[in-house]
Structure 1
Amino acid sequence: MLQTRFALLALSLGALSTHALADELVATRPGVMCVSADALARLTLPSGDSRTHAATTTPELQGLAASGGCIDIQPGMRVTVQKAFKNTAVVTYRPAGAQSDQTFVVPNIDFAQTTGGAATTGAATGSATPAAAQAAPASASAAATPRSAAAAPGLAQGYRVAQHIPASDRAGTFLEILEDARITPGLHKTLWGSGAGTDGLPDGVSHAPLLNAQVRLVSAADTVLASRKLDYPLASLEAAPLHGLPSPTWFLTIDATAPMGSYSGPGTEMLVPAQSGLEAVRYTSAQGEAAPLVLARTGKADWKIVPARAGGIEEIEDVFCANADGDNFVTTYRTYRFVDGKWQAASRQLRGLWESDRQFPARPDFP
């Protein structure tokens, strides 16, 4: 099944990439989940049932499903339907490279294969192909429903909306990533983590310096509520896979990879729009000092989410190595915990070199 990534926990949206992909999915699973509210209206049966699912659903879930959007399913990715309703289903999906499953409420749209290679439906209200709702996949770490320049409020010249994601709040707001319009979804994937910059742009495209990405919060009425300019051209958003936090939380990853060197790479911040807008969540050290919580993945830094030792919200283990003096190195082992409504950090340092091509440190290494 091809699924529309819509938020049960919080979500990321994306899109069907090719008809061949749709055919492949139809061949392996009986049905395809797709697209937009418009497609949902055109492709469901007059009774409101989809062709393979018949059960009742709640207005809340139906509203989520009607928002639409398809995720790009690559070969080898497993999607499991946990529960099927009339026009929605609860599915789990594990992106490539992820360590845990993500859960979404998605709309059900069924397509039947045709000899022409395109996936179509035989719904009584008309037929359509996925091309009507086609959009390119977003970044390597999150997918989203791109918006046209005409539909995006206050879009500055030279930008495109790379991601448009429901913020999962009661106000119905959206989070957006804006990137240089020359960075197509496919090029975004190619450039991510390469440090190539304009050298990675294809021939025939202006090689003027790339515009830095922006993140913004947009109301349900398409009013820009807040915006923030980032320091690099590439960025992505995904729902933070942390359970039990009081407000929807997002990972904003900014690709700061340089062409050379082992100290640069993507850095991930936490955003909690309901509490701190678009500013990075801050943590408090054992010494009482506050600083933005930023998690780096470089040649000398890595992090991962782990179950809490005492139960509750997951913890984040963060390891990074830096030159101390001369040829000596010091490695910092840090654990972030959500305690009494805020993130707190405990750290320990040991002399010695650690690099990310090694195994991630064992749990006892972290305080």
Structure 2
Amino acid sequence: MKRLSILLSLLVMMMVLTSCATNVTVRHLVPGDVDLSGFRSLAVASTSAYKFPTSRPLSPWISGLQETDFTLSSGYEASLGAQIADLATKTMLQSVGETEYFSILPPAITDAYVTLGSIGEDMRSMLQSKGVQALLVSDITYVDMDESIVGRDIRTYVTEGAKNYEKVTSREYFLVQQATLSLTYSVIDLAQNHVLVSRSFTGKQERETKIGTRIYLFDTAAPGAYRDERRYASGHAPSFAPLFEQILDEFSSTIATQLAPSYQLSRLPLLANKPKLKEAEAAYKLARQGSYAPAQILFHELWEQERHLPSGYNAALLLEALGTIDEAVDLMSIVYHSTASQQAHDALLRMQEAQSGQKKAERQISGEVTRDGQGVTMTQYMVME
């Protein structure tokens, strides 16, 4: 009986594995959210620091440890505002730099011109004389922090005589730190002195740090006796800076795709071999192995010979995976109009959208697209953890 059960389990597993769809990786060039093809020489200014409304937003000592022998001072530092601004500056510079789309005047130089502008000099003209077309500025618009202590009882099953029951044997104490940050950036056309794009982000991160454990001593005569064991060695709570850095890191890739064309990867399933065509199995195997080109040729031949819907659909999808989006659209259009398949129709619409986006991205890269009267684009993003 046990042997039969094992055989049945193996059979079910094989059926699951063979029924799983074969996916192919498709890469598309997608345009930036905003066309900055006419502003590819970009000066990046340092991020303006957040000004806390009070001199010290958090208490020097963290409350909640009064019932223990532990003490802990706050993770807030007087230099935190400047640290966050420096981290944000690095994020902005990294975001635009990794696109390889812009020529960049770094903050170390840009800030000198911004300073001259603040005392009445013509900053815009000076930057333009250096060949700069646009200025990227950013601000930390909101910062919030919280520190609290959380105690959690640890329960253990114990045996006392004939009784088995759950008993609180210790209590663990954790420091919970929360950080919230809002960042806004704008790209300014230096020639016209107007904002090309402005975007805002808000993110939140949380971290727990184990401070110590209270161990209850049941084998002593004194009722309620305990021993506190410290697990966190330092008397200072961890800095908030890494939490704010994590928030900013989450913004980085989004900023890059907003400002410049980028590649987008997706995994798309081949159409299942239904109605089943035995000759198509070799093509599916090639696709699973990553041999897209020979798989595409075989699927295409079977489509031409048999008018087998999955073969035609898959041949078009593999053309897309091979980077020939125009040919993929043409073939999927033929498959759809020959079969009236809803699946082919949906795939055709998706491909046409990808084709349109790719052509727009190519124009952004070549510089063929110029400003078309687009106004200021303003968006706010929430990134919560």
Normalising by structure 1, we get a TM-score of: 0.22
Larger % of helix: which? 2
Report the structure number with the largest CA radius of gyration. Answer: 2
Task: Pick 1 or 2: higher relative contact order, CA cutoff 8 A, min separation 6.
Answer: 2
TM-score normalised per structure 2: 0.21
